[in-house]
Structure 1
Amino acid sequence: MAKEYIDFETLKYLLYDVHQLEEILQQDRFTDHDAASLDMFLDSVKEFSDRELFPYVKEMDEKPAYYKDGAVVVHEQVGVIMKKGGEMGLISGTFDYDAGGLQMPMMAYTASAFIQDAANNHLPGYVGLTLGAAELIVHFGSKELNDTYVPNMISGDWGGTMCLTEPQAGSSLSDVVTKAVPTNNGHYKISGQKIFISGGDHQYADNFVHLVLARIEGAPAGTKGISLFVVPKKRPDGNGGLVPNDVTTVADFQKLGQRGYCTTHLGFGDAGDCQGWLVGEAHQGLKYMFLMMNGARIAVGRGAAAIATAAYHASLQYAKERPQGRKLTSSGKKDLETGQTLIINHPDVRRMLLQQKVVSEGSLSLVLLASKYYDLKETLQDPSEKEKYALLLELIIPMVKTYPSEMGAQAVSNGLQVLGGYGFCTDFILQQYHRDIRIFPIYEGTTGIQSQDLLGRKLLMENGKALELLTAEVMQTIQEASKYDDLRVYAGKLGEKLKLTQKVISFLVGFAQKGDYERFLSDATPFMEFFGNITMAWVWLDIAIHAKGALITGEKTHSEDFYESKIHAMKFFFKYELPKTIGLAEILMDEEVLTIAGEKELFI
């Protein structure tokens, strides 16, 4: 096991120096917080993660959650994080004071959750899903629902889930058939099944509050007829107690990775006595769920960035300790008289480690940027500024979810390669991270769905206003970088990529304008890779600008080597990652169509 799983110094550099958390703290909502108090909070989360999360990450993989006698059995550390999650504000951190929360900026909460994810990615989901379910009730539920359920959820005594997926309807939520029949008693009778329910059952919560998408009897077809219900595992009996609510744990899925994070199959109303309470208005369920989805997708990107980070530190430690081979001499031959060199001295190993570094640190910066946009759209008073950051957030969210997930998986694969044969062995953690991260491109909308959302909706919304705003942000960074002699060439490269982006988008939008939407979206995933890569080049150039500024002004809060390492990483990204967009642009602007099903089936 690695001795360390994150670089705490880099996390704080990105949080305070690059993304200027202290500017966010100027908003009225956050006046009770300052950098010192948030530092103490993050330090306490790191200490808790060091003690209660990180030491158990391998053990939770080796002793996974399992189903027995109608219930799911999980590792005892789930009980620890549920209890401590309530006590430390890990569930309620961003909630209003009135709801029992700490009114913490999303940026700070994201940083704290990133630490936990990197320490042990099997555990934070239990509190994260409880937070998400409670958030839906707080925002859209009645006072009675809030009073009945939220306090026990944010304390960690009760768990919470979101129940969308059904056996016959995966990502196609318009095909949801779970039924809700109204009664004269203010509740609905719920019947149906839900699958892939993260944290859906375990022995360390007294109750589970399921947020269930269902169709009220007689509701319109498709997504317009879906409503949202609170469906507890145990319902209040009216006398201060709880009684079973006909919610059955059918099974727990055994998975490739994240084996300590249970994933349940739930049945509702098998005995005809499952009661649910409508959240908000009828037929608005999907709208409510997706208003919360930005936070969920930030969380997915954060989790993937965290696993990639932990994998980077594990492989970096190995490379610094493992002697093998010898460095080449000036003659191009190995000097067998000298001793073995550490593998970190081999250029190809350094290339793989640097790829891990730019993906993991860049992904963290992107996730923190999204959290900053979230804070600004929620707290700014100027309507035009609120709209600006809301549009920027909507545009980058598909990339925030996808880039860390897809590229994080590649980065972890590189980490496994650094270890060579040992990377494939269970003695070392890399193989587990390789398995754990693979779910992240699937969570909360697959890469294909995110890609269609980016190209088909986000780029074109408000007549392209979000894209204009993001382009302006990138141009501002290019102008800042151009002030520094040794960053000017990278600013120029990014500027050329902006022109290429305009060319690619213009080509693709032409199909939409002709009504050929299938062709327009058929290469949405290569477009996601193309646009995400360029967005990350912007993120890295911004990191380098702040590092360069600190070196020149002498206003350093970190060592000179620290800042120079960030500039070096930016240069690596521009040399090894950004040029991939040339090939992707060629794919995207090729007239030939090969993936749209035609009259003749050619899969033979």
Structure 2
Amino acid sequence: MATTYFSKRNLQFLLHEVFKADELTKYDYFSAHDRETFNLVLDSATYIADTFMHPYLKEMDRNQPELKNGQVTVHPKVREYLKAMGDAGLIGAGFSFEHGGQQLPEMISSCVGFILMAANNGMMYTGLTSGAAHLITSFGLPALSDFYVPNMLDGTWQGTMALTEPQAGSSLSDVTTSATPLSDSESVTLGEVPLLDQPGSYKIKGQKVFISAGDHNATDNIVHLMLARIDGAPKGTKGISLFVVPKYRPDGKGGFVDNDVASTGIYHKMGQKGVPAMHLTMGSNDNTIGYLVGEPHQGLPYMFQMMNEARIGVGMTAAGIATAAFYAALQYAKERPQSRRLNQKNHLDAPQTPIINHPDVRRMLLFQKAVTEGSLALLLEAARLFDISQVAEGDEKENAFLLLDLLMPVAKSYPSEMGVQSVSQSVQTFGGYGFTEDFPVEQLYRDIRITPIYEGTTGIQAQDLLGRKMTMKGGKAPLLLFAEINRTIAEASTSDELKPYADQLTAELKRTQEIMASLIPHAQKGDIERYLSDATLFLEFFGIVVVAWQWLKQAVIAKQMLLTQNPQGDDLIFYEGKIHTMKFFFHYEVPKTLGLAQRLKDTEVLTIVSEKELAL
């Protein structure tokens, strides 16, 4: 029997019963699809995950990429995986028909990512390629798109995001990689198409670090979407431009030449060892060419498109890893006998009971289920809003974008931060065995730890949420969110069983408003450091409230199904389990907001540097 690493039943419940994914097909862009085609895509992803990914989870961890003589070698299964994904059309599933895609909603594409990352997150290659290719199709010249995108979407070429530099991590205003326009005498072509006057080609010089999949032998070329500063550009983020910088560039004669992008280092990581993280040096021989994407000095706004997609992707990766760990722990807890139930301690001749029957083990498992399924629901909410923001019009489009913008820091950080805690509880469920290589959770614990760092650390997400998203457009986004939450509260209030939880969520919304009322005066006085000093705690608080909403939403649907469909067997157990886990979240997780709210409204400041600095 195959190892369970995600629940197809839960994915179907969220997609079709809670979020009604097929309603997206009313929009022209998605009209070629229906529930059946959505499910076929997920079945295809599951086949790839079962065949090319999950069997090699441990093997890829133990045989990490190596850099030797300037070449990076990865596990041979990576090439097979990339080909399978390209052949199935899954790398560019969300792309337009015009660009070789299937025009699938992000809701479905993100579910594909969830399945793949639950199977083996050490094969995190295709999401990077998809995001990079989307930047080219969105903002690049047709010549760039026609030349690069088909090879990227069929898995022949790898795409990357090349932002970070040794001196510029999250502070992209400090990017120093330079771009010098080529003169007429240095004209460069892309295939047979001159790029110089469209505008065109630039000499790139600089370094990039922590570039995931930045070089490897599983594809024939690496296509970097790279931030650099054109000579004479304004300082700060307003002077950053975006370039396509390939490992091998076309020579204008149908062949390719080395583009002077050197792999000068490889980072050996705590987890996710199947994906090389590279230190790249461009222009050592003054021969790195980059092709401008879009307008000069617009690189950061362009990159934010990929960042939003990537942040949903990171959240899905975290949710996938935590889900795989949960199912490993659940299976172990059902099979591992240990002691007797606490009320039977003196019955020594009674058989030992499986540890799932011990209250503390059950608490750990319920915590894992609450975190993983709550995270997945939040991420699908974000993906649905992303889809609507792309294809709707007027107020519907604007409101979806505002809600997505508000939820994005939570959708990235909650699955990541709480996923780390969830996998920790998976290890704890195994006891000593969880700390050994005999079971997958020790690896998954190492793997998931990067997710709170990827695509903007939790602290950066927190400053984005409190510093910008809560107050933009006069606080319109939180008002829209509260209206959505209140709709769920109204639905839940019609059930005697769910009404206490609806009331509890109403109280949490009031608490959120009280916290904002206590913090806003600091921002109004211009004391931004004080306003944002505990932004990470606000993000944690807000994440609990938002995921509580997601759990109440699931419970409403489960209750409706129990009342109207008379489910039996596994379906009955499933729906009752949803309501039970919702109750667990409200009784065990939601009360944590009390302590966070107390700190957030506290007037004592302990973390801001003052004239009288205390030693740390």
Instruction: Please give the TM-score of this superposition, normalised by the length of structure 2.
Output: 0.96
- Quote the Cα distance in structure 2 between the aligned partners of 1:578 and 1:170: 34
* Equivalent residue letter for 2:205: S
- Quote the Cα distance in structure 2 between the aligned partners of 1:2 and 1:334: 38
- Tell me if the contact between 1:459 and 1:466 (Cα under 8 Å) persists in the aligned partners: yes
> 3-state DSSP class of the match of 1:541?
helix
- Tell me if the contact between 2:48 and 2:81 (Cα under 8 Å) persists in the aligned partners: no
Q: Which moved more, 1:41-50 or 1:467-476?
A: 41-50
Cα distance, 1:428 vs. partner? Answer: 1.1
Alignment identity in percent? 55
Matched, 1:535 2:549: no
* Equivalent residue letter for 2:130: L
Matched, 1:502 2:508: no
* Equivalent residue letter for 2:104: M
Matched, 1:550 2:550: no
> 3-state DSSP class of the match of 1:104?
coil
- Quote the Cα distance in structure 2 between the aligned partners of 1:70 and 1:596: 45
Gaps of 5+ in 2: 188-195
* Equivalent residue letter for 1:310: A
* Equivalent residue letter for 1:418: T
Residue number among 209, 214, 218 corresponding to 2:228 in the alignment? 214
> 3-state DSSP class of the match of 2:342?
coil
Task: Give the alignment of 1:182-261 within 5 angstroms.
Answer: 182-184=181-183, 185=187, 186=196, 187-261=201-275
Q: Which moved more, 1:24-33 or 1:414-423?
A: 24-33
Task: Give the alignment of 1:366-405 within 5 angstroms.
Answer: 366-381=378-393, 383-405=394-416
* Equivalent residue letter for 1:202: H
* Partner in structure 1 of residue 577 of structure 2: 565
* Partner in structure 1 of residue 148 of structure 2: 149
> Can you list the C-alpha shifts for 1:68-109, whole angstroms capped at 9, x where unaligned?
110111111110121112111221100000000000011111
- Tell me if the contact between 1:161 and 1:208 (Cα under 8 Å) persists in the aligned partners: yes
> How many residues end up aligned between the 2 structures?
600
- Quote the Cα distance in structure 1 between the aligned partners of 2:76 and 2:346: 52
Task: Give the alignment of 1:78-157 within 5 angstroms.
Answer: 78-123=78-123, 125-157=124-156
* Partner in structure 2 of residue 77 of structure 1: 77
* Partner in structure 1 of residue 499 of structure 2: 488
> Can you list the C-alpha shifts for 1:284-339, whole angstroms capped at 9, x where unaligned?
00110012221110001010000010000000011011111111227xx4321211
Cα distance, 1:66 vs. partner? Answer: 1.4
- Quote the Cα distance in structure 2 between the aligned partners of 1:255 and 1:20: 39
* Partner in structure 2 of residue 310 of structure 1: 324
* Partner in structure 2 of residue 276 of structure 1: 290
Matched, 1:319 2:314: no
Cα distance, 1:555 vs. partner? Answer: 6.8
- Tell me if the contact between 2:233 and 2:239 (Cα under 8 Å) persists in the aligned partners: yes
- Tell me if the contact between 1:81 and 1:127 (Cα under 8 Å) persists in the aligned partners: no
* Equivalent residue letter for 1:378: Q
- Tell me if the contact between 2:67 and 2:266 (Cα under 8 Å) persists in the aligned partners: yes
Matched, 1:445 2:445: no
- Tell me if the contact between 1:328 and 1:335 (Cα under 8 Å) persists in the aligned partners: no
- Tell me if the contact between 1:360 and 1:404 (Cα under 8 Å) persists in the aligned partners: yes
- Quote the Cα distance in structure 2 between the aligned partners of 1:54 and 1:540: 29
* Partner in structure 2 of residue 39 of structure 1: 39
- Quote the Cα distance in structure 1 between the aligned partners of 2:167 and 2:385: 36
Q: Which moved more, 1:62-71 or 1:530-539?
A: 62-71
* Equivalent residue letter for 1:576: Y
> 3-state DSSP class of the match of 2:122?
coil
> 3-state DSSP class of the match of 2:235?
coil
Residue number among 340, 344, 363 corresponding to 1:351 in the alignment? 363
- Quote the Cα distance in structure 1 between the aligned partners of 2:244 and 2:509: 46
RMSD, aligned α-carbons = 1.2
- Tell me if the contact between 2:48 and 2:85 (Cα under 8 Å) persists in the aligned partners: no
- Tell me if the contact between 1:56 and 1:120 (Cα under 8 Å) persists in the aligned partners: yes
Matched, 1:297 2:296: no
- Tell me if the contact between 2:205 and 2:286 (Cα under 8 Å) persists in the aligned partners: yes
- Quote the Cα distance in structure 2 between the aligned partners of 1:48 and 1:471: 40
- Quote the Cα distance in structure 2 between the aligned partners of 1:86 and 1:258: 22
- Quote the Cα distance in structure 1 between the aligned partners of 2:260 and 2:101: 31
* Equivalent residue letter for 1:4: T
Gaps of 5+ in 1: none
* Equivalent residue letter for 2:546: T
- Quote the Cα distance in structure 1 between the aligned partners of 2:566 and 2:53: 36
- Quote the Cα distance in structure 2 between the aligned partners of 1:579 and 1:434: 26
* Equivalent residue letter for 1:201: D
* Equivalent residue letter for 1:386: K
> 3-state DSSP class of the match of 2:143?
helix
Stretches (4+) displaced over 3 A? 555-558
Cα distance, 1:2 vs. partner? Answer: 7.9
* Partner in structure 1 of residue 299 of structure 2: 285
Cα distance, 1:30 vs. partner? Answer: 1.2
* Partner in structure 2 of residue 476 of structure 1: 487
* Partner in structure 2 of residue 340 of structure 1: 352
Q: Which moved more, 1:370-379 or 1:391-400?
A: 370-379
> 3-state DSSP class of the match of 1:189?
strand
* Partner in structure 1 of residue 190 of structure 2: none
Q: CA 1:255/1:2 → structure 2, altered by over 3 Å: closer, same or farther?
A: farther
- Quote the Cα distance in structure 1 between the aligned partners of 2:371 and 2:609: 35
> Can you list the C-alpha shifts for 1:547-589, whole angstroms capped at 9, x where unaligned?
0001111175971111000000000000000000000000101
Q: Which moved more, 1:200-209 or 1:549-558?
A: 549-558
- Tell me if the contact between 1:327 and 1:334 (Cα under 8 Å) persists in the aligned partners: no
Residue number among 591, 601, 607 corresponding to 1:595 in the alignment? 607
Q: Which moved more, 1:569-578 or 1:546-555?
A: 546-555
